Amino acid sequence: MAVKQKIRPARMGDVKAIHSLLKHFADQGLLLGRSISSLYDHLRDFIVYDDGGIRGVCALHICWEDLAEIRSLAVAEESQGRGVGEALVHACLDEVQR
C-alpha cells in the first residue's frame, strides 16, 4: 500500500499512541510536548500515518482564511526516511488547498 493511502484522520483510540510518539521527541527537546487532554481537545486537527500502528503524526491548525500552520509533525525513528513525514505534510497542504 502506498504511503499516502495509510494517512487518515486521527481517532480517539489513537491518542495514547500519538502522545507517546510526541513525548519521545519532546523529551529530546525536538518539539513541544502535548498533554493528553490537549490532544483530545484538538484531535480533529490531527492526521496519522497508520500501518498497523501509529508511525507518524501531524496537526494542521487553521489560523485565518489564508494562513495555516503545521504543528506536531513527528515520525517514529524506525519509519524515518520512508516518505512518511513528506506524505503527512502533503496531506496538510492538500487540505488547505481544498
* Chain segment 37-89, per-residue pLDDT in tens: 999 999 999 999 999 999 999 999 999 988 999 999 999 999 999 999 999 99
Q: Which three cell numbers stand for residue 93?
A: 497542504
Are 58 and 47 spatial neighbours (Cβ–Cβ below 8 Å)? yes
Distance (Å, rounded) from C-alpha 28 to C-alpha 44? Answer: 26
What pTM value is reported for the model?
0.90
Backbone torsions φ then ψ of 28, nearest 5 degrees:
-90, 0
Residue 75: which CATH number? Answer: 3.40.630.30
Q: For residue 65, what is the DSSP state?
A: T
Question: All 3 cell numbers of residue 24?
Answer: 519521545
C-alpha to C-alpha distance for 49 and 83, rounded to whole angstroms: 11
**Total domains, the chain:** 1
Tell me the residue range of the domain where 70 lies. 3-97
Helix (H, G, I), strand (E, B) or coil at 86: helix
